[in-house]
């Protein structure tokens, strides 16, 4: 605190007097040297972690107050994911720990006087019950009847457990509900995926093209930071979005496209780049195959053709194609992340990949770099027995090119009417709120009604927990060790998460839960370490570090083995595709019965009085999981529906008025949503942030706040290539008053 003596009073004397006053300032304290500051910052009360609020997994430090209470989380300067700067969600991660609505003890569903309720249970009871039921299910149907739905750090342990149990039905909704089409499209084109964090070299790019990708609103930390660096360096940003996104506000060119027509725009760009000979000829000749077929295919797709479809003026299509070409190869047509929109998403991202190939950006500075990942020594556990039946066997021939299990296929296989080849009767759910994650909620609930066991592991009483037979409360990431983070990046690196404090309430880490359950399933060999820190220490020692060292530094970055971040001039590159080349024409797709070059297909349009429902992210929230976080709710506590002023006028809607939304299948939102009248959205669409409208009353802070987009997504366009669930073909209208009948629903 500053002593009274240092006060300087000025009256209304104006600026001249300030200069006089300035001379009278007393030096409070000499500023410390950087070394002293460093010492000051290396505080014994800080412990390393990496963030679990989203998948970017930034490494940071947890600081505690002198009373030992968790105080704040600050980014680790040595971490490539965050460069010492956490995003709002990471900074607000403390709220996950302090949220008083957390799950506090194991719960078991019981019947009391004809009503189902949860009763509190001990861990032993809960795990005994689960192990008993799993064994019975295995005896009745085979172990493949168990499915795991998982997201985040806990995946590792529950995957090990379920594989050891004998099932490979392990799905991450981050595949079929999010980035799956992108992975398959990039694999088919370059033989490699776009990774997480994405290998986009944004910091050195001269031109960044975003197609519906709203960097800055999606707070993928390193990427947001690099976009800002690129702005500083004068890079051109081109944004394609029916909504004036934050990124659009930073863009030299904003293409306010008619929703669902992106492939037409991409084909026109490809046409322009080929027929104006803008493409990187040397690169294409050396690395690509199928150019002639592509050239012949796109001959008709002129900007004029695309204008009629996309509403983007031909001149703007030409100008932006030229802009990309001028920046080539330092140009990124961003692959996006949540790309399950219209059911032809793999093909749309194939067009993105092809465009990048023509511009020669893959493997080039300012385009896509080659990632390097630290190879962690694995701990010795018994080999998994190959399961007798795979997820592909459930519906033979469906989603033939999916390289990961498709969550919605596992859900469909839990509904007997769908005639799966064998039944899915047990679900283990960790870190994903399937009610908000999977579109067509009625289908998910029908599947749940047919289960004999549903186990949910979470920190919060999310909607899915309400359907569980057993709820297991995990502690937050701030209270536990986890596997080392070793993600691909410019340099290989590892990061440690360790507990900043003991777990609150009767909660346990995912490792402990999986290990204890493995004992009850006679699978303890798969968890040879009683304590996770012993496993980490053994692993780190093999890697030339130690637990002690990592506790001190948090992140360890290594040099790349070779100087090969980008292709060198004339380097011979063998791509992991069938041809060993970048495939502009995909024989692999053609062989499986799909278009070898992306095709534009018109999609359904809203009928009169209905508007296309578009959803996205807010920078301070992750999925539906942070809606109750006290710190983050303080920044944003409900979503709003964005409505164009012309539409609002037509409907007589006023700003801040609460309305309900009704979709094309007459589903009316559970809760009302606040109207935001804004020029930032097209007249044929409405927009809302995903993750609100929680219907679980135990989430006291966010219950009934805003609307769940997932509830209104009942028309799902499934990508036949890989099973992705296209979710942007739903149309809503406005309901200003609910009828009694509707209110009763």
Partner 1 sequence: MRYAMAVDTRKCVGCSDCVVACQTENKVPIGFCRDWVVEVMDGTYPQLEMEIRSERCNHCENAPCVRCCPTGASHFVEGGIVMVEHSQCIGCGACIASCPYDARYPHPDGYVDKCTFCEHRIKNGLTPACTAVCPTKCLYFGDLDDPNSDVSVVLKKRKYKTLIPEAGTSPQLYFLI
Instruction: Give the C-alpha separation, 440 to 727, whole Å.
Output: 9
CB of 334 to partner 1, least distance (A): 16
Instruction: Give the C-alpha separation, 597 to 348, whole Å.
Output: 10
Q: State which residue, 90 or 726, has the beta carbon closest to partner 1.
A: 90
Return the bridge partners of 110, or none. Answer: 117
Q: State which residue, 9 or 113, has the beta carbon closest to partner 1.
A: 9
Question: Quick count: other Cβ atoms within 10 Å of Cβ 224?
Answer: 21
User: Which residue from 554, 523, 525 is spatially nearest to 540, judged by alpha carbons?
Assistant: 554
Give the angle subtended at the CA of 216 by the CAs of 647 and 478, to the nearest 5°: 120
CB of 635 to partner 1, least distance (A): 5
CB of 75 to partner 1, least distance (A): 7
CB of 57 to partner 1, least distance (A): 15
Question: 450 is written with which tokens?
Answer: 């047919």
Task: Evaluate the CA torsion angle 42, 44, 45, 49 in order and state its sign.
Answer: positive
Instruction: Give the C-alpha separation, 685 to 307, whole Å.
Output: 19
* Secondary structure element (H or E) that encloses residue 164, with its range: helix 155-165
CB of 48 to partner 1, least distance (A): 18
Q: State which residue, 77 or 506, has the beta carbon closest to partner 1.
A: 77
Q: Answer for the pair 374, 496: CB distance below 8 angstroms, yes or no.
A: no
Q: State which residue, 233 or 541, has the beta carbon closest to partner 1.
A: 233
- Residue identified by tokens 């240092």 is 6
**Dihedral pair phi/psi, residue 372, rounded to 5°:** -135, 140
CB of 37 to partner 1, least distance (A): 4
Question: Quick count: other Cβ atoms within 10 Å of Cβ 450?
Answer: 13
CB of 95 to partner 1, least distance (A): 9
Q: State which residue, 72 or 104, has the beta carbon closest to partner 1.
A: 72
Q: State which residue, 72 or 520, has the beta carbon closest to partner 1.
A: 72
Q: Which residues contact 259 (CB under 8 A, 6 or more apart)?
A: 242, 612, 614, 682, 684, 685, 728
DSSP 408-419: HHHHHTTSGGG-
Pairing of strands 717-718, 725-726: antiparallel
Q: Answer for the pair 716, 709: CB distance below 8 angstroms, yes or no.
A: no
CB of 551 to partner 1, least distance (A): 23
CB of 610 to partner 1, least distance (A): 19
Return the bridge partners of 170, or none. Answer: 148
Return the bridge partners of 689, or none. Answer: 616
Q: State which residue, 40 or 44, has the beta carbon closest to partner 1.
A: 40
CB of 294 to partner 1, least distance (A): 31
Q: State which residue, 227 or 547, has the beta carbon closest to partner 1.
A: 227
Q: Answer for the pair 361, 333: CB distance below 8 angstroms, yes or no.
A: yes
Question: 6 is written with which tokens?
Answer: 């240092």
Instruction: Give the C-alpha separation, 24 to 6, whole Å.
Output: 10
Q: State which residue, 231 or 587, has the beta carbon closest to partner 1.
A: 231
CB of 167 to partner 1, least distance (A): 40
* Secondary structure element (H or E) that encloses residue 633, with its range: helix 630-633
Q: State which residue, 209 or 718, has the beta carbon closest to partner 1.
A: 209
CB of 687 to partner 1, least distance (A): 13
Q: Answer for the pair 244, 679: CB distance below 8 angstroms, yes or no.
A: yes
CB of 35 to partner 1, least distance (A): 10
CB of 248 to partner 1, least distance (A): 8
Q: Helix crossing, 510-520 with 123-141: angle to 10°?
A: 60
Q: Which residues contact 575 (CB under 8 A, 6 or more apart)?
A: 190, 191, 192, 287, 581, 582
Q: State which residue, 259 or 290, has the beta carbon closest to partner 1.
A: 259
Q: Answer for the pair 430, 470: CB distance below 8 angstroms, yes or no.
A: no
Q: State which residue, 290 or 706, has the beta carbon closest to partner 1.
A: 706
CA atoms within 13 A on the CB side of 725: 24
Q: Which residues contact 534 (CB under 8 A, 6 or more apart)?
A: none
Q: State which residue, 12 or 383, has the beta carbon closest to partner 1.
A: 12
Q: State which residue, 92 or 724, has the beta carbon closest to partner 1.
A: 92
Q: State which residue, 159 or 629, has the beta carbon closest to partner 1.
A: 629
Q: Quick one: 266 exposed, middle or buried, by C-beta within 10 A (0-12, 13-18, 19+)?
A: buried
Cα distances (Å, whole numbers) of residue 23 to 3, 19, 26, 385, 630: 19, 7, 8, 79, 45
Q: State which residue, 19 or 744, has the beta carbon closest to partner 1.
A: 19
Q: Is the peptide bond before 146 cis (omega within 30 degrees of 0)?
A: no
Cα distances (Å, whole numbers) of residue 223 to 19, 363, 492: 43, 18, 18
Pairing of strands 46-50, 59-64: antiparallel
Instruction: Give the C-alpha separation, 311 to 601, whole Å.
Output: 16
- Residue identified by tokens 């030992």 is 68
CB of 374 to partner 1, least distance (A): 24
CB of 61 to partner 1, least distance (A): 12
Question: 520 is written with which tokens?
Answer: 């009850």
CB of 342 to partner 1, least distance (A): 22
Terminal Cα distance for the chain, rounded = 58
Q: State which residue, 579 or 678, has the beta carbon closest to partner 1.
A: 678
Strand, coil or helix: 154: coil
Q: Answer for the pair 723, 398: CB distance below 8 angstroms, yes or no.
A: yes
CB of 3 to partner 1, least distance (A): 10
């Amino acid at each position: 605190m500053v002593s009274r003596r240092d006060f300087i009073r000025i009256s209304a004397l104006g600026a001249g007097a300030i200069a006089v006053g300035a001379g009278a300032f007393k030096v409070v304290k000499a500023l410390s040297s950087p070394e002293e500051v460093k010492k000051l910052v290396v505080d014994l009360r800080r412990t390393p972690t990496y963030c679990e609020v989203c998948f970017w997994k930034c490494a940071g430090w947890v600081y505690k107050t002198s009373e030992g209470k968790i105080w704040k989380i600050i980014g680790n300067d040595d971490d490539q994911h965050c460069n010492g700067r956490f995003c709002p969600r990471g900074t607000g991660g403390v709220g996950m720990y302090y949220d008083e609505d957390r799950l506090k003890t194991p719960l078991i569903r019981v019947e009391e006087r004809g009503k189902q309720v949860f009763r509190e249970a001990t861990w032993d009871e809960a795990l005994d019950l689960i192990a008993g039921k799993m064994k019975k299910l295995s005896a009745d149907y085979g172990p493949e009847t168990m499915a795991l739905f998982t997201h985040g750090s806990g995946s590792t342990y529950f995957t090990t457990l379920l594989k050891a149990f004998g099932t490979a039905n392990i799905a991450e909704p981050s595949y079929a509900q999010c980035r799956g089409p992108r992975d398959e499209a990039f694999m088919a084109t370059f033989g490699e995926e776009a990774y997480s964090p994405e290998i986009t070299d944004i910091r050195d790019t001269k031109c960044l093209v975003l197609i519906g990708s709203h960097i800055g609103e999606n707070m993928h930390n390193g990427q947001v930071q690099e976009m800002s660096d690129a702005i500083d360096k004068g890079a051109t940003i081109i944004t394609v979005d029916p909504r004036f996104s934050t990124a659009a506000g930073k863009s030299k060119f904003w293409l306010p496209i008619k929703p669902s027509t992106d492939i037409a725009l991409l084909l026109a760009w490809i046409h322009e780049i080929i027929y104006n000979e803008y493409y990187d000829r040397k690169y294409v000749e050396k690395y690509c195959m199928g150019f002639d077929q592509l050239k012949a295919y796109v001959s008709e797709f002129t900007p004029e053709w695309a204008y009629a479809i996309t509403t983007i003026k031909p001149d703007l299509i030409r100008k932006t194609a030229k802009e990309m070409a001028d920046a080539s190869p330092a140009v990124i047509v961003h692959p996006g992340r949540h790309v399950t929109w219209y059911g032809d998403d793999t093909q749309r991202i194939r067009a993105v990949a092809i465009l990048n190939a023509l511009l020669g950006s893959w493997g080039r500075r300012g385009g896509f770099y080659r990632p390097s990942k630290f190879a962690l020594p694995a701990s010795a556990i018994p080999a998994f027995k190959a399961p007798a039946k795979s997820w592909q066997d459930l519906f033979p021939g469906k989603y033939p090119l999916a390289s990961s299990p498709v969550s919605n296929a596992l859900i469909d296989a839990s509904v007997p009417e769908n005639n799966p080849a064998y039944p899915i009767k047990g679900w283990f759910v960790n870190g994903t709120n399937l009610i908000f994650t999977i579109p067509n909620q009625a289908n998910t609930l029908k599947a749940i009604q047919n289960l004999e066991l549903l186990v949910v592991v979470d920190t919060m009483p999310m909607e899915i927990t309400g359907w569980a037979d057993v709820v297991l409360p995990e502690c937050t990431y701030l209270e536990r060790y986890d596997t080392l983070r070793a993600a691909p990046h410019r340099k290989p690196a590892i990061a440690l998460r360790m507990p900043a404090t003991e777990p609150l309430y009767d909660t346990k880490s995912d490792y402990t839960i999986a290990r204890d359950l493995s004992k009850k399933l006679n699978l303890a060999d798969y968890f040879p370490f009683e304590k996770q820190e012993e496993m980490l220490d053994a692993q780190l020692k093999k890697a030339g570090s130690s637990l002690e060292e990592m506790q001190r530094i948090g992140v360890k970055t290594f040099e790349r083995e070779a100087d090969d971040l980008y292709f060198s001039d004339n380097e011979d590159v063998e791509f992991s595709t069938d041809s060993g080349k970048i495939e502009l024409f995909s024989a692999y797709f053609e062989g499986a019965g799909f278009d070898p070059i992306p095709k534009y297909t018109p999609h359904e349009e809203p009928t009169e009085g209905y508007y296309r429902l578009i959803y996205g992210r807010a920078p301070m929230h992750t999925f539906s999981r942070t809606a109750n976080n006290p710190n983050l709710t303080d920044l944003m506590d409900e979503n709003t529906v964005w409505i164009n002023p012309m539409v609002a006028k037509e409907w007589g809607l006023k700003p801040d008025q609460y309305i309900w939304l009704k979709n094309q299948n007459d589903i009316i939102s559970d809760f009302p949503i606040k109207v935001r009248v804004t020029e930032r959205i097209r007249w044929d669409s409405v927009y809302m942030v995903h993750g609100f409208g929680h219907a679980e009353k135990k989430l006291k802070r966010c219950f009934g706040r805003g609307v769940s987009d997932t509830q209104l997504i009942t028309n799902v366009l499934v990508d036949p290539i890989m099973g992705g669930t296209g979710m942007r073909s739903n149309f809503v209208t406005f309901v200003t008053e609910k009828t009694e009948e509707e209110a009763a629903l």
